[in-house]
Structure 1
């Protein structure tokens, strides 16, 4: 029995609802606290005409079942309603929990609140009944403009938990199908333990390859100002098998702040996995048009690739390898930590697509970034028309065997206009291309790169490209670039270079980094404290 199931069954017996908190991955991230509610016991209201009749001071339970009735049902456990919308409309007035019994619902749900009314909203949970799975199936449902299976508009204190959302697709250019769509403003939304899959736009628009072909699994758009979407938690979800066109599987865009995206499994999608965006005009006020002050932690992201995506592939003979597993595009003041990004096009990218605008204040720490096609970690604008990456820190990551295409983009890909960034205490292990850093642009100012460990299959052929100059061999690179005076070139001695990137005893990466307050403020990828060796030095890479 899962902790969630046992808690809910206990709650039903006692009439006390427990909010299930998501365990986060470091002390540096916190989830907004909630007070416990006290809903009525389902047993006590099972035969009543209305669940709210059980206790005047209780937040009730409401029930929905595929065989229920909106006309003769009462919403009780023994007499459920048929549609989730019927139950949710009732629960929006009182707060409480809507339980969907197991089965398939060819239905959509829309919850709308009042902008700026976050403090007064009652807590509402919509969830699968314990040990059962409720499926919202979009097959046959039309997609009008931006459509979704679950929509939260200006909603606050709403939890959506344990649902499966699937088969919501369109071939209509310009229509955007979404599994869960949160937009407007609001506070305290939680999207927990849902599975979102087989959502997509399969249109083939004429003209521009990118026009009108978009979809999302989970999308959060902060479209108000100054009121934001805040205190948001997206955790424990599986988001997969999506046909995204030019869009993203899990995206936060615009006026979104104070959020946690943690412990999700995002895999096998035809474009970007997790994306945090700014500067797209999503908020009506440019001052608030950046997703910010949040954490992306403990996620597993695999198989994000645009190589077979028609939105890109028609432009490039061999397809486009441009999908980031985790992409910060114009976001600011974010922590990206303890994620595993593997077998995507790009492992982690912190960049800005908008000229004159900067992605800034990003901390990328204790991540495992391995075997991605184009590169491991990328930063800066992808051409001279783009924006910049500034004031960010990349520390304590294991970045290994990326550039599987062996195109020479290496493990760290420093692109246009990077300024005042720090790159330290990382392990960079090259693929067969032997390229470790690829930096073709001279617009690279006041970046500090040191205390890293480098390794390549052929040490004599190891390559660093710095401000457009190619250096072969570690000594030549250090002398020519002025970087990495206290770095090492050595085999990191992984436990298993194919599957286990922890360090063997005696690894030169162990307890050999430079003391690092940013890195030591959170545990390593295994949850072990950092920088607690006898010397006070952390290990280089993602593992102590």
Structure 2
């Protein structure tokens, strides 16, 4: 992710300028609501045991466990199988699976298994404590991953990393915490770290049927990167029921157009056909993060940046800087086929939802459906920013049946920046059947449309032509 330069409020709403763009035609998309097939575990019945008190000369039985997790993985051989780790701390240990199939690495039932990477030096580029590349039928489950840190630019420590291509990969029930990149260079986009990262780098062969479920990811120092991310050629995935909290950049992200995948089409460089469901994302802030020293405190709880055909459903985002954002940071790129439904977003510093490019030189967002969500008490900065912000080049999208409550001294409900681009880039945006509220009378509540302030709910409907069947209630929550 490239650090943003982004501010909201009335001045920012009026600041966008027009930019020429290519008119896009809506395409038929895959049904992103269909969950991927259940991931497969190890096919082999071979099971090896590891314990901190074991020895690598042992047979790897429960009575005579191995000592090193990697030794057990290697000992499984091509047939695969299961490696079960006994409780305890495995200091300075990594687990690497490359070109493997049918391997499960798991904690013993009820055991706290800590992979403490303190003192290990990440290699150049991207390195995981658990590092899975070009592998299939893999399960990583129940591990506590911590301590992987660097101060080096260009080195990206990751708790659990999946890269290359592959299928049927599950990352479940792990705790990834207290790791990251501690370099303090100001506004550097080569200072990065992740908690859980999946990078589909093979443009011809995607990573498919990926499940990231029930993990806790917290207290990370991320630089310009994200806590949990799918990036590039990742096609068919679920990020479900994770707790992501207390990190200094984006919580959950699905990314396209970063040239992560090589040797394929542009569309192969986009995370797609995915689900972000049932997650809890809390206390996500870039305040104090050197990557944002230029004045952008704008970490998203959940972000889709250039992805397509993605359902964002049933999540709770509390105390991020932007609750949910749907956009493309790359000129000529798009974010499309996104359904944001039945989420609860509260106490964001800036806005509850942002859709569209954050400047007139970025990509556009279309075929976005926002329905059944609750946005309440966002804009904790109380600077007049709205609960829902439409940025540049948002078109062919609907915002219906949401409950939207603005609070604070300057409650604002919906804002849209000045139109940017050709007419097709801003056409066919529909708001209707929404339930609006704030502590002030209907005649005083604030909106903004195409960069101009609008005061009063009735004036909003007249000026924008929106929300004919929507309602407004005086309320504080």
Q: Same fold (TM over 0.5)?
A: yes
Structure with more relative contact order (C-alpha pairs < 8 Å, separation 6 or more): 2
> Counterpart of 1:436?
413
In the alignment, is residue 64 of structure 1 matched against residue 50 of structure 2?
yes
1:271-301 C-alpha deviation (Å, 9 max, x unpaired): 0000000000001122301000010000000
Shift of 1:441: 2.1
Q: Which residue of 127, 131, 135 corresponds with 1:155?
A: 135
> Counterpart of 1:176?
156
Tell me if the contact between 1:191 and 1:235 (Cα under 8 Å) persists in the aligned partners: yes
1:361-372 matched pairs, under 5 angstroms: 361-372=337-348
1:212-262 C-alpha deviation (Å, 9 max, x unpaired): 311000000000022100000000000000000000000000000110000
In the alignment, is residue 385 of structure 1 matched against residue 390 of structure 2?
no
> Counterpart of 1:32?
37
1:412-427 matched pairs, under 5 angstroms: 412-427=388-403
Point out the more displaced range, 185-194 or 281-290: 281-290
> Counterpart of 2:111?
132
Which portions of structure 1, spanning 4 or more consecutive aligned residues, are displaced by more than 4 angstroms? 34-38
5+ residue gaps, structure 1: 1-26, 39-57, 115-120, 498-544
The separation in 2 between residues aligned to 1:111 and 1:422, in whole angstroms, is: 44
> Counterpart of 2:432?
450
> Counterpart of 1:15?
none
Shift of 1:440: 1.8
> Counterpart of 2:449?
466
Tell me if the contact between 2:33 and 2:311 (Cα under 8 Å) persists in the aligned partners: no
1:477-488 matched pairs, under 5 angstroms: 477-488=460-471
In the alignment, is residue 398 of structure 1 matched against residue 374 of structure 2?
yes
Tell me if the contact between 1:408 and 1:438 (Cα under 8 Å) persists in the aligned partners: no
> Counterpart of 1:516?
none
**Higher strand fraction: Structure 1 or Structure 2?**
2
Tell which structure's C-alpha radius of gyration is larger.
Answer: 1
1:105-504 matched pairs, under 5 angstroms: 105-106=90-91, 107-113=93-99, 121=101, 123-145=102-124, 146-205=126-185, 209-284=187-262, 285=264, 286-312=266-292, 314-316=293-295, 320-432=296-408, 433-443=410-420, 444-459=426-441, 460-491=443-474, 497=477
**Higher helix fraction: Structure 1 or Structure 2?**
1
SS at match of 2:378: coil
> Normalising by the residue count of structure 1, what TM-score does the alignment of the two structures yield?
0.78
5+ residue gaps, structure 2: 1-31, 421-425
Q: How much is the aligned-residue C-alpha RMSD, in angstroms? A: 1.6
Distance of aligned partners of 1:34 and 1:195 in 2 relative to their CA distance in 1, 3 Å threshold: closer
The separation in 1 between residues aligned to 2:160 and 2:38, in whole angstroms, is: 23
The separation in 2 between residues aligned to 1:416 and 1:83, in whole angstroms, is: 52
Tell me if the contact between 1:410 and 1:431 (Cα under 8 Å) persists in the aligned partners: no
> Counterpart of 2:72?
87
The separation in 2 between residues aligned to 1:361 and 1:86, in whole angstroms, is: 44
Aligned length: 435
SS at match of 1:241: strand
The separation in 2 between residues aligned to 1:362 and 1:29, in whole angstroms, is: 13
SS at match of 1:86: helix
> Normalising by the residue count of structure 2, what TM-score does the alignment of the two structures yield?
0.89
